[in-house]
């Protein structure tokens, strides 16, 4: 599932399950969308959105976690952490036998 598809699925779930919290929940989805697509992803906002759903709409939390743990977001967060540590990620290639950190 693509990141946009995961966010769209979360939005549909909010629209059908959030009841009176729908406006607030949709605002959280918008924030999650922005944070997940930022370069690098805004992990602080992602955590805040996760906590909001944990407190207010725990039944929807699995869909939030699917966005937060999406491979695109996860890879970007790991790459940003490596850059912050002064490391460089090399994409896997046939001549290299796979990805590596220097």
Helix extents (H) in 1-102: 3-17, 22-37, 43-56, 61-68, 71-84
> 3-class DSSP state for residue 68?
helix
pLDDT single digits (tens) 23-72: 999 999 999 999 999 988 898 899 999 999 999 999 999 999 999 888 88
Determine the pLDDT at residue 13: 97
pLDDT single digits (tens) 87-101: 655 556 555 455 555
Question: Quick check: 32 and 68 in contact, CB under 8 A?
Answer: yes
């Amino acid at each position: 599932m693509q990141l946009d598809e995961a966010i769209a699925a979360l939005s549909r779930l909010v629209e059908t399950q959030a009841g009176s919290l729908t406006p607030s929940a949709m605002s959280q989805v918008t924030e999650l969308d922005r944070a997940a697509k930022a370069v690098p992803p805004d992990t602080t906002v992602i955590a805040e959105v996760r906590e909001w759903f944990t407190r207010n709409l725990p039944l929807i939390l699995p869909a939030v976690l699917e966005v937060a743990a999406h491979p695109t977001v996860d890879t970007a967060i790991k790459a940003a952490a490596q850059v912050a540590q002064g490391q460089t990620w090399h994409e896997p290639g046939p001549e290299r036998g796979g990805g590596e950190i220097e």
